[in-house]
Structure 1
Amino acid sequence: MSRKSVRQQKIASETNTEGGAAAVDSLRGVDTLEEAKAWLAARNIEDIECVVPDQAGVARGKLMPTDKFFSGPVMSLPASLFAQTITGELPAEDDDFQYDPTDGDIMLRPDYSTLSIVPWASDPTAQLIHDAYTRDGRPIEIAPRQLLKRILNLYERNGWTPIVAPEMEFYLVKPNPDPDYPLEPPVGRSGRPESGRQSYSIQAVNEFDDLFDDIYDFSEAQGLEIDTLIHEEGAAQMEINLRHGDPVQLADQVFLLKRTIREAALNHKMYATFMAKPMSREPGSAMHVHQSIVDSETGKNIFSDEEGNPSPAFFSFIAGQQKYLPAVMCMLAPYVNSYRRLARNTAAPINVHWGYDNRTVGIRVPNSGAQARRVENRVPSSDSNPYLAMAASLACGYLGIENGLTPEDPIDGSARGLPHSLPRGLLEAVALFEETDELVDIFGKSFVHTYRAIKQTEYETFMRVISSWEREYLLLSV
């Protein structure tokens, strides 16, 4: 779909006010089934993509005609949906991990607040995120979106509302149909690829103006609220920041925005990749998450006291991140490749020290006023599932507050030369996750054992591949 047709759909939605139904005019989301019918009819939507994020953050689901969506039976998918690895395999069963031997159905229930158009589709198409339930109506506890809601319920019981703001880094690269060849930066409007570091360069961003115009147009058509776009340190490495808000809504936006960026890049004969470390000599890509907590009744930031100073809850939240982030690392860095990003003397953190306005630590406290006081988790990589990354990070902070933990002293100088305190590899991270009782209690044994089985299977799949390093240094030398 062209940029013009995206804008035409937006104009049509803004001018269709028949009956005064405000929901029909919304670019993103309605409240009820009847409002959804009116919204879709106003845009002449022919098909609906019914999607649910899996453990990798990949969109799974069904595409169906609009009339069938409203007239058909309850939508379902196999129970194995949430046990698949990134390669589509199912882990071997063991004493702790088992799945339905009949691979029976789970039920999908639409969340109408996520309804939006698919602006790049050739025919008028909408998309709708679903939640997963058992046949008797219980949430599927291993589903990533439900898992995030489970963590938010812990905050709700205390009268708190978490607020998050994610920052997404990604690379633009030349199309690479043969995975045996290294990735390369794409050619911009100058006709030349980037050859040096271009941190925060406006000119480097301008190289891909047409692409970014499409990303902004596609995002606007879906009601996705991009705050800023900058050029990051690596060659053709970009960062998009989203506005702060509800964790589920922001995870939904990251989930949709990743696909949006990839689709826009394909339209310009490029790939957009969220791999944590796609090129060996370039920096890795992160998904930093800014976090704060407000009192649900007053809206006041509980990280600040009445005088505007840091509160005990603020320090305990940091302490919880320090203690437990290493144990949830398998959700913040979910693949073998993720750990290549966490190298000494790079922009990526290797430990969970904290500091004020310090970008060398894993936990940064940006400069802000009392109401905007927040904690930035700089550990997650861009390949992480946004639902799981936010659930994991908020769970760590919650445990810190609940247990009244006290953080270490903040780091004034660089933390890059200090020892590693994060796991160095996927298997180490998975073992630490499964061995931490407090996290097993919060996330539930079913999720912990399922996720462990998935990651161990992915690691075994990786071990079947012989790398160029092995051929280079071992073939004729050992």
Structure 2
Amino acid sequence: MNDWTTKIPDAAREYLAGRRLDEIECILPDIAGVARGKAMPAFKFDKQTHFYLPTSIFLQTITGEWANAPGGEDEYKEPDMTLVPDFSTATAAPWTADITLQIIHDAMTQGGKPVPTAPRNVLKRVLDLYAAEGWKPVVAPEMEFYFVARNIDPNMPIVPPMGRSGRKAAAKQAYSMSAVDEYGKVIDDVYDFAEAMGLEIDGILQEGGAGQVEINLAHGNPVDLADHIFYFKRMIREAALRHDCFATFMAKPIEGEPGSAMHIHHSVVDLKTGKNIFSDAEGRETPAFLHFIAGMQNHLPAAVALLAPYVNSYRRYVPDFAAPINLEWGRDNRTTGIRVPISGPEARRVENRLAGMDCNPYLGIAASLACGYLGLKEKRDPRPECRINAYMGEDELPLTLNAAIDLLVADEAMVEVLGPDFVHLYEAVKRDEYNEFQQVISPWEREHLLLNV
């Protein structure tokens, strides 16, 4: 065993026990949260001292096109960045034919500074701002996604998968164990893969859509949880492919069915005392708790561009489809965009219900925490608690990606927290994606406009 193998987690060492390691995947998440990088033989990784990738991978749109670098194309020479392995992220890739480890790498400049446009670094930047105030945020994400039938023709609608009964997965079966059993073999592989990878699943349940599943993750460090979601997305897709279906994390994959969210629970711990700053010594809500909520209300409109990063994301924000379209807050009220779940004082937390499962987990968590951070700094009070069905209120979110980007770049405080270099690059990528989408003529337009207007 080489020296670096002493730095990897126990689960990775157990996976390698008695086996010959064949390959290392050196990866990092791009703007979409897609794994980019290079694979190499293990013996090559042992001998390599530096790993490089071009910074331009952060300019790639979801369609594979390239946005212009902010500041002018003439100034951009596509420099390399240095990849630094984070050995604490080493985990198995148990679906591969060879014995393979994945290792997430941090993107650094050749001068040794974090690349400001790398999503993992954006999240770390936000956490550093918390740490400078003596705070440590804790998050717990929920993952909703769909198992769907294989779709090899993009012109055809996405449909639910065939279950073991021979019938298509049924809708409106929330929390049904029988519904989960319909694709139990895929779930079994998800559990087995997660165990091999050292990923902890807090629970799996059937959601309201046909073939829609939710996986809950235990609370913890935001970077660790973002890493886990990054790994989970790839792993769940691989498990589905083994059973002739797809797993999709689109915000709204099936017409007429609910969308898929990535609800994020937040609390903040005082670094000196280790106590939750949302509760006082008597267990009561603190001013900091209310300030955090106010930050959500005041800055979430700007954060939506990262929580809902694609044109499809905004199809999830419709009334009466289990997705809040408001900035209200309430205790134990799932119709509000900002919910306070039932808990004891030590676990008092704020749940952001606006994020879609299609968001990059690093950027979604960073944007959500940025809102709370700004609230703690600004010390403003939130609006009165919503004690009714908030779905009955008015829409408060941008309804298109372009409008969301406008709000992001206009919020100077949010831009500063996330980093101007990152926000300018993100704007360039998303404007390009939106313009590409605008060139596509949809079936709805052909059906209703071709002969009628």
Q: TM-score, normalised by structure 1?
A: 0.91
Query: Which residue number in structure 2 is paired with residue 26 of structure 1?
Result: 10
Deviation digits for residues 125-166 of structure 1 (CA, Å, limit 9, x no counterpart): 000000001111010011000000000001101111100000
Unaligned runs of 5+ in 1: 1-15, 30-37
RMSD (CA atoms):
1.7
Q: Identify which of 341, 366, 371 aligns with 1:391.
A: 366
Instruction: Report the CA distance shift for 1:317/1:97 in structure 2 as closer, same or farther (over 3 A).
Output: farther
Query: Which residue number in structure 2 is paired with residue 158 of structure 1?
Result: 133
1:116: how far off? 1.1
Q: CA–CA distance in 2 between the matches of 1:249 and 1:132? A: 16
Query: Which residue number in structure 2 is paired with residue 297 of structure 1?
Result: 272
Q: CA–CA distance in 2 between the matches of 1:138 and 1:91? A: 24
Query: Which residue number in structure 2 is paired with residue 60 of structure 1?
Result: 36
Q: CA–CA distance in 2 between the matches of 1:280 and 1:375? A: 30
Q: CA–CA distance in 1 between the matches of 2:137 and 2:8? A: 29
Q: CA–CA distance in 1 between the matches of 2:8 and 2:399? A: 50
Q: Does 2:300 match 1:325? A: yes
1:464: how far off? 1.5
Query: Which residue number in structure 2 is paired with residue 285 of structure 1?
Result: 260
Query: Which residue number in structure 2 is paired with residue 437 of structure 1?
Result: 412
Q: Identify which of 48, 55, 69 aligns with 1:72.
A: 48
Q: TM-score, normalised by structure 2?
A: 0.96
Instruction: Report the CA distance shift for 1:64/1:121 in structure 2 as closer, same or farther (over 3 A).
Output: same
Q: Residue 210 of structure 1 aligns to a residue in which SS?
A: helix
Query: Which residue number in structure 1 is paired with residue 158 of structure 2?
Result: 183
Instruction: Report the CA distance shift for 1:219/1:454 in structure 2 as closer, same or farther (over 3 A).
Output: same
1:447: how far off? 0.8
Report the residue type matching 1:239 in the other structure.
E
1:294–1:300 contact (8 Å) kept in structure 2: yes
Report the residue type matching 1:206 in the other structure.
D
Q: Residue 109 of structure 1 aligns to a residue in which SS?
A: strand
Q: Does 2:152 match 1:200? A: no
Q: CA–CA distance in 2 between the matches of 1:377 and 1:165? A: 11
Q: After the TM superposition, which residues 163-242 of structure 1 pair with which residues of structure 2 at under 5 Å, given as runs? A: 163-242=138-217
Query: Which residue number in structure 2 is paired with residue 274 of structure 1?
Result: 249
1:24: how far off? 7.1
Q: Residue 292 of structure 1 aligns to a residue in which SS?
A: strand
Deviation digits for residues 46-81 of structure 1 (CA, Å, limit 9, x no counterpart): 100110000000000000011111212410011201
Stretch of structure 1 that moved more, 164-173 or 191-200? 191-200
Q: Residue 371 of structure 1 aligns to a residue in which SS?
A: helix
Q: Residue 416 of structure 1 aligns to a residue in which SS?
A: helix
1:43: how far off? 3.7
Report the residue type matching 2:346 in the other structure.
Q
Deviation digits for residues 253-292 of structure 1 (CA, Å, limit 9, x no counterpart): 0000001100000000000000000011101000000000
Deviation digits for residues 279-327 of structure 1 (CA, Å, limit 9, x no counterpart): 1110100000000001112211000011100001000000000000011
Q: CA–CA distance in 2 between the matches of 1:184 and 1:373? A: 39
Report the residue type matching 2:215 in the other structure.
I
1:433: how far off? 0.3
Instruction: Report the CA distance shift for 1:41/1:212 in structure 2 as closer, same or farther (over 3 A).
Output: closer
1:332–1:381 contact (8 Å) kept in structure 2: yes
Q: After the TM superposition, which residues 298-447 of structure 1 pair with which residues of structure 2 at under 5 Å, given as runs? A: 298-447=273-422
Q: CA–CA distance in 2 between the matches of 1:328 and 1:466? A: 29
Query: Which residue number in structure 2 is paired with residue 3 of structure 1?
Result: none
Q: CA–CA distance in 1 between the matches of 2:29 and 2:186? A: 26
Report the residue type matching 2:98 in the other structure.
D
1:25: how far off? 7.4
Unaligned runs of 5+ in 2: none
Stretch of structure 1 that moved more, 246-255 or 38-47? 38-47
Q: CA–CA distance in 1 between the matches of 2:127 and 2:12? A: 23
1:334: how far off? 0.1
2:169–2:182 contact (8 Å) kept in structure 1: no
1:103: how far off? 1.2
2:296–2:371 contact (8 Å) kept in structure 1: yes
1:100: how far off? 5.8
Q: CA–CA distance in 2 between the matches of 1:86 and 1:386? A: 16
Report the residue type matching 2:27 in the other structure.
V
Q: CA–CA distance in 2 between the matches of 1:375 and 1:413? A: 18
Structure 1 runs (4+) deviating above 2 angstroms are 21-25, 38-43, 96-102
Number of corresponding residues: 450
Instruction: Report the CA distance shift for 1:230/1:66 in structure 2 as closer, same or farther (over 3 A).
Output: same
Q: CA–CA distance in 1 between the matches of 2:271 and 2:15? A: 31
Deviation digits for residues 406-444 of structure 1 (CA, Å, limit 9, x no counterpart): 100111110101111111110000011001111121122
Q: Identify which of 212, 223, 230 aligns with 1:255.
A: 230
Q: Identify which of 72, 92, 107 aligns with 1:132.
A: 107
